């Protein structure tokens, strides 16, 4: 195993986005990605085998020059889902934290989530009481934030807001609220332990990710506190709080590659809507623009004017807030915005990456159908993403595009594997998420309906003799596993 060609990754869990997508990107980039056995990783209902994770991580110690990227949620709790549902004591968590910190002979990048607060009554990914009190806890958390910061809510006085907070807390059983606050306290305490470990150089870089965030809430307060602590301890060049979660390992893989590469691309940005770029991203606390810039700043990529840049990042958005395929939210008409974007792409002669952000949870059909009919040079398309949140799509598209650019310069690029990766994104983000997905979907229905889309994208990408199979690894419609 050579330092310049190997990266070890402990993923969040066994989902395709956690396990297979990083592998796809590394495979076409000539990177030897070392992963734990998938069967030992957590899923929706069961956490990872913690003893196995201990053993696997210790197995990396002899390779002292290797880069290692660690999901701290997986190592500590057994996965992202388990980080929200566990019953570990704080002492148990601290003990596990000490275990991973002691692997100080390896160059480690770590990422840990700030526990989310979803606004719905469903306990699939939360504790059992979320099915009855999820929306009430979200509202209590939101008002707690506003009361604590003196934020006014329209014409409502601070005294009225305080009364609303009191009433909201009365709607949640004492034992439920106590358990939930205890869970949050453990999450914040552990995240502060990770930050403190930078004093002993336990990590080269740390990311604290804000998963499924809103504008107000306890999670936003905690994220702000972590940001203040980062500045207080002068760790701004070694730690960052950013939106998203699922894309973070892709960002850290790309960051590691950039830091050891002799060549780095510069990027220019094109937004096809000024209004849209300044709208708050769905499921995030900041605007589309700030969310994108946060990830570019994490990568320390130089932003240049178009004429001086190596890669053009094209961001498609509506003039309004993002739509959402899951909840049937439709944004403002995007036809004219698509036209402007295509004019830019068709005229460029440099590599471009497409960020499809008009909707959350899937692509904009207006954009994709126009791309299919367009005269763009597909060989210059270095990346595409349009799934789930702005941050998820941004990190995915940047990782695909930047790693292709670097691997080409270093003569490690595998064109056929790249095409398969790009095909997977179009099939998943557009064909499945935007056109086919529904709550009661079956594997048979997915495979039947995907076939024409696979043929279309295979043709425009120049892929022959392709065989695509799909599965639902977590037995729910959100995660689809596409095997090309």
Across the range 396-409, mean pLDDT stands at 98
CA atoms within 13 A on the CB side of 315: 28
Whether the predicted pLDDT of 54 surpasses 80: yes
The average pLDDT across 15-35 equals 97
pLDDT at 128 over 80: yes
Of 231, 256, 281, the one marking the end of a domain is 256
Identify whether 346 is part of a domain.
yes
Rounded-to-integer distance, Cα 261 and Cα 412, Å: 13
Q: Looking at the structure, do residues 188 and 323 belong to the same domain, yes or no?
A: no
The answer to the question of residue 168 being in a domain is: no
| pTM for this prediction | 0.96
Q: How many helices (H) and strands (E) does the chain have?
A: 16, 15
Residue 78 Cα to chain centre, angstroms = 18
Burial of residue 472 (CB within 10 Å: 0-12, 13-18, 19+) is middle
Q: Is the pLDDT of residue 62 over 70?
A: no
Domain boundary among 256, 290, 311: 256
Same domain, 322 and 401: yes
Structure-block tokens of residue 133: 């009190």
> What is the chain's Cα-based Rg?
22
Query: Would you say residue 186 has pLDDT above 70?
Result: yes
Residue 148: what pLDDT? Answer: 87
Asked if 195 and 244 sit in the same domain, the reply is yes
Q: Is the pLDDT of residue 3 over 60?
A: no
In a domain, 139, yes or no: no
CA distances from 428 to 360, 388, 405, 425 (A): 13, 11, 23, 5
226 shares a domain with 114? yes
Tell me: pLDDT of 438 over 80: yes
| β-strand partners of 174 | none
Question: When comparing pLDDT for 177 and 211, which is higher?
Answer: 177
Q: Is 241 among the domain residues?
A: yes
Give residue 301's pLDDT: 97
The per-residue pLDDT for 152 is 74
Q: Is the pLDDT reported for residue 161 higher than 90?
A: no
Concatenated DSSP letters of 282-324: TTSSSBHHHHHHHHHHHHTPEE--GGG-SEEEEEE--SSS-EE
Domain boundary at 256, 289, 323, which?
A: 256
Mind listing the pLDDT tens digit for each residue in 6-16? 999 999 999 99
Q: What is the pLDDT of residues 369-382, one digit of tens each?
A: 999 999 999 999 99
**Residue 205 lies in domain:** 6-118+176-256
pLDDT band for 450, please (50, 70, 90 cuts). Answer: very high
Mean pLDDT score across all residues of the chain: 94
* Average pLDDT of span 263-270: 97
Residues 227-248 have pLDDT tens digits of 999 999 999 999 999 999 999 9
Angle between the 390-409 and 248-260 helix axes, to the nearest 10 degrees? 30
Q: Which residues, 6 or more positions from 215, have their beta carbon under 8 angstroms from its beta carbon?
A: 280, 285
Q: What is the pLDDT of residues 291-309, one digit of tens each?
A: 999 999 999 999 999 999 9
Same domain, 237 and 278: no
pLDDT at 4: 59
The verdict on 63 and 190 lying in the same domain is yes
**Interval 269-291 mean pLDDT:** 96
> What is the per-residue pLDDT for 1?
36
Q: Per the domain annotation, does 476 fall within a domain? A: no
- CATH number, residue 90: 3.40.50
Q: Tell me the range of 95-109, 136-150, 168-182 where mean pLDDT is highest.
A: 168-182
User: Domain tally for the chain?
Assistant: 2
Do 237 and 219 belong to one domain? yes
Residues 6+ apart with CB under 8 A from 418: 28, 400, 404
Question: What number of other Cβ atoms are within 10 A of residue 382's Cβ?
Answer: 26
Q: Residues 200-223: what's their mean pLDDT? A: 93
Rounded Cα gap, residues 80 and 456, in angstroms: 35
Cα 73 to Cα 96: distance, rounded to the nearest angstrom: 11
Same domain as 301, residue 337:
yes
Give the Cα separation of 284 and 7 in Å (integer).
Answer: 30
Angle at 456 between CA 471 and CA 31, to 5 degrees: 60
* Same domain (yes/no): 43, 187: yes
Quote the pLDDT of residue 104. Answer: 67
Residues 37 and 88 placed together within one structural domain of the fold? yes
What mean pLDDT do residues 103-131 have?
92
Write down the pLDDT at residue 2: 46
146 belongs to a structural domain: no
Can you list the alpha helix ranges (DSSP code H) found in 103-200?
130-149, 158-170, 174-197
Of the CA atoms within 13 Å of residue 447, those in its CB half-sphere come to: 12
Same domain, 207 and 111: yes
* 462 within some domain: no
Q: How confident is residue 105, by pLDDT bands cut at 50, 70 and 90?
A: low
Domain check: are 192 and 331 in the same one?
no
pLDDT computed for residue 64 by the predictor: 58
């Amino acid at each position: 195993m050579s330092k310049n060609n190997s990266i070890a990754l402990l993923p969040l869990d066994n989902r395709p986005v956690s396990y297979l997508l990083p592998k796809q990107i590394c495979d076409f980039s000539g990177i030897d990605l070392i992963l734990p056995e998938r069967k030992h990783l957590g899923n929706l209902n069961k956490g990872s085998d913690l003893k196995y994770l201990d053993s696997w991580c210790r197995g990396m110690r002899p390779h002292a020059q290797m880069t290692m990227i660690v999901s701290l949620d997986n190592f500590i709790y057994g996965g992202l889902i388990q980080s929200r549902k566990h019953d570990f004591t704080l002492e148990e968590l601290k003990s596990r934290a000490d275990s991973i910190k002691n692997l100080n002979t390896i160059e480690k990048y770590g990422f840990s989530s700030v526990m989310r607060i979803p606004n719905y009554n469903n306990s699939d990914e939360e504790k059992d009481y979320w099915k009855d009190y999820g929306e009430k806890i979200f509202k209590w958390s939101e008002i707690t934030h506003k009361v604590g910061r003196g934020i006014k809510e329209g014409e409502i006085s601070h005294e009225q807001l305080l009364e609303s907070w009191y009433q909201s807390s009365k709607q949640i059983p004492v034992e439920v609220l106590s358990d939930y606050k205890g869970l949050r306290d453990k999450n914040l305490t552990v995240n502060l332990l990770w930050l403190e470990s930078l004093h002993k150089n336990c990590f080269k870089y740390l990311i604290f990710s804000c998963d499924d965030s809103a504008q107000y809430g306890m999670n936003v307060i905690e994220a702000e506190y972590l940001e203040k602590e980062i500045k207080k301890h002068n760790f701004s060049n070694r730690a960052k709080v950013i939106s998203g979660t699922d894309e973070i390992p892709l960002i850290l893989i790309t960051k590691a590659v950039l830091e050891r590469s002799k060549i780095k691309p510069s990027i220019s940005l094109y937004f096809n809507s000024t209004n849209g770029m300044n709208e708050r991203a769905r499921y995030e606390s900041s605007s589309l623009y700030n969310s994108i810039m946060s990830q570019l700043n994490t990568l320390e990529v130089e932003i240049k004017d178009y004429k001086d840049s190596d890669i053009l990042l094209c961001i498609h958005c509506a003039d309004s807030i993002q739509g959402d395929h899951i909840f049937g939210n439709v944004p403002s008409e995007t036809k004219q915005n698509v036209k402007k974007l295509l004019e830019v792409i068709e005229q460029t002669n440099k590599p471009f990456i497409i960020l499809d952000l008009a909707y959350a949870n899937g692509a904009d059909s207006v954009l994709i159908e126009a791309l299919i009919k367009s005269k763009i040079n597909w060989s210059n398309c270095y990346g595409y993403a349009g799934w789930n949140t702005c941050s998820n799509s941004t990190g995915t598209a940047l990782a695909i595009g930047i790693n292709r650019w670097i691997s080409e310069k270093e003569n490690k690029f595998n064109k056929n594997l790249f095409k398969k990766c790009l095909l997977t994104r179009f099939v998943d983000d557009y064909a499945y998420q935007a056109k086919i997905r529904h709550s009661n979907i079956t594997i048979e229905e997915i495979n039947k309906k995907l076939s024409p889309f696979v043929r279309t994208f295979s043709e425009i990408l120049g892929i022959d003799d392709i065989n695509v199979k799909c599965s639902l690894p977590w037995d729910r419609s959100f995660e689809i596993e596409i095997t090309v």
